[in-house]
Amino acid sequence: MYPQNDITQENNNGIRIDEPDNILVCDGLVKIYKTDDVEVLALQGLELEIKRGELVAIIGKSGSGKSTLLNMIGGLEKPTAGRLYVDGHDLFAMNEKGLVEYRRKSVGFVWQNSGQNLFPYFTALQNVEAPLYFDRMSQKERREKAMSLLKMIGIDHRAQSYPAQMSGGEQQRVAIAVALAHDPQILLADEPTGAVDSKTSNMIQDIFRRINEETGITIIIVTHDLSLANKVSRVIMISDGKISTEKIMKEKYREQLDNMTTESLAQVESHEEYSILDKAGRVQLSQDTLEMAGIESNKVRVEVKDGKIIISK
Ligand code: ADP
Ligand code: MG
């Protein structure tokens, strides 16, 4: 369908896939799950670009395609159509061997359920060491690296504990250290704070923000937690397998972020909301927006007035 091997050029739709700043490019990404009798269109031509070093939150209702997107970025599933480039790799064209290598080197995963992240019969330290067994490292180097990661996350006092001896929040912090062990370019977290209380959730969010600032690693977090979204410079909303709107943090708010409490944060308008205009000129309007404008029919008037586009009944 698409010409292959043109990674250094502009593709059919004009997205620069060789843009050096972009660590992720999704271009018309489609994912169809086929079960015995039904086909589920989990992603419907999703467009997304993420720059190296960004910290991005993805929010959306259950079933909107968030996990599907993360699983494809993580090389766990293949798209049905479209293009997906991560860290210079064409994931659509990659064979199984390439994908295994990619998963081992380029991405780190943190799941919601900490049981999925950690080996129950390993201590915290052993869990962080585990991904390093494939690297050419002495036992001492492995231990030192694992320990320094636990220190960075502030959980080194639990190095000798087993998962069952730790709280949910502690387990998730160890899981973050595990995900970072092989120095991935991109860290993917699927509802990492879904199973912890709000105080712990806050602490985990701050860890993501800090490691993003300190190491420059690109982080994509899927979350239900709107307070997390308020602390992230870019919030992407998915509905029906497509990106509907994006919120970009106001510069002024970003400057104040470190000096504000959670309570005062909630009272400031942190982000500006943008709708996504796709390359075919389509804009998705939310049901709320349509209701507020009293639009019920599937036909609308579109006019340009004073440099603005007005959509009305
Ligand atoms: P979210 O993470 O936003 O809740 P998902 O990406 O898990 O949404 O799911 C998107 C849609 O795809 C849903 O309708 C879901 O039922 C469907 N889906 C997800 N995974 C599978 C699968 N392995 N087989 C069939 N359908 C799936
Ligand atoms: Mg999900």
pLDDT for residue 76 is more than 60: yes
> 159 is written with which tokens?
């190095």
pLDDT (tens digit, 9 = 90+) per residue, 169-211? 999 999 999 999 999 999 999 998 877 888 888 888 889 999 9
Residues 134 and 174: their CA atoms lie apart, in Å, by 19
Q: What is the pLDDT at residue 297?
A: 85
pLDDT (tens digit, 9 = 90+) per residue, 30-58? 999 998 888 999 999 899 999 999 999 99
Residues 289 and 300: their CA atoms lie apart, in Å, by 13
Q: What is the pLDDT at residue 118?
A: 92
Hey, how many other C-beta atoms are within 10 angstroms of the C-beta on 113?
15
Q: Using a 6 Å cutoff on CB, does residue 68 contact ligand 1?
A: yes
Q: Percentage of residues in the chain with pLDDT exceeding 90?
A: 42
Contact 27, 11 (CB under 8 A): yes
Q: What is the pLDDT at residue 149?
A: 96
Between 196 and 65, name the one with better pLDDT. 65
pLDDT for residue 311 is more than 70: yes
- The rounded radius of gyration (Å) of the Cα atoms in the chain is 21
**What backbone torsions phi and psi does residue 179 show, to the nearest 5 degrees?**
-65, -25
Q: Using a 6 Å cutoff on CB, does residue 39 contact ligand 1?
A: no
Q: What is the pLDDT at residue 258?
A: 63
Q: Using a 6 Å cutoff on CB, does residue 63 contact ligand 1?
A: yes
Task: Label residue 107 left, alpha or beta by phi (over 0 means left) and psi (-120 to 50 means alpha).
Answer: beta
Residues 88 and 204: their CA atoms lie apart, in Å, by 29
pLDDT for residue 150 is more than 50: yes
Q: Using a 6 Å cutoff on CB, does residue 42 contact ligand 1?
A: yes
Q: What's the predicted TM-score (pTM) here?
A: 0.84
Q: What is the pLDDT at residue 157?
A: 96
- Helix H, strand E, coil C: the string for 41-93 is EEEEEEEEEEECCCEEEEECCCCCCHHHHHHHHCCCCCCCEEEEEECCEECCC
Q: What is the pLDDT at residue 147?
A: 97
Q: What is the pLDDT at residue 263?
A: 58
Q: What is the pLDDT at residue 11?
A: 45
pLDDT (tens digit, 9 = 90+) per residue, 227-265? 777 778 889 989 888 887 788 877 666 666 666 565 555
Residues 19 and 6: their CA atoms lie apart, in Å, by 13
What average pLDDT does range 208-224 have in this prediction? 92
Q: What is the pLDDT at residue 224?
A: 75
What average pLDDT does range 87-99 have in this prediction? 89
C-alpha angle with apex 101: 41 to 12, nearest 5 degrees?
50
Contact 117, 110 (CB under 8 A): yes
Which atom of ligand 1 is found nearest the CA of 61?
3
Q: Percentage of residues in the chain with pLDDT exceeding 70?
A: 87
Q: What is the pLDDT at residue 109?
A: 93
pLDDT band at 6 (very low <50, low <70, confident <90, very high): very low
Q: What is the pLDDT at residue 156?
A: 95
Q: Using a 6 Å cutoff on CB, does residue 216 contact ligand 1?
A: no
Q: What is the pLDDT at residue 4?
A: 43
- Ligand 1: which of 26, 40, 72 to mutate, judged by most atoms within 8 Å of the beta carbon? 40
Strand order in the sheet with 234-239: 107-110, 186-190, 218-222, 55-59, 234-239, 242-249, 271-275
> 135 is written with which tokens?
């690297």
Note the Cα 291 to chain centre separation in Å: 30
Minimal-distance CA residue to ligand 1 atom 23: 33
- Ligand 1: which of 31, 39, 44, 68 to mutate, judged by most atoms within 8 Å of the beta carbon? 68
pLDDT (tens digit, 9 = 90+) per residue, 115-125? 778 999 999 99
CA of 53: how far to CAs of 23, 81, 216, 218, in Å?
Answer: 8, 27, 5, 4
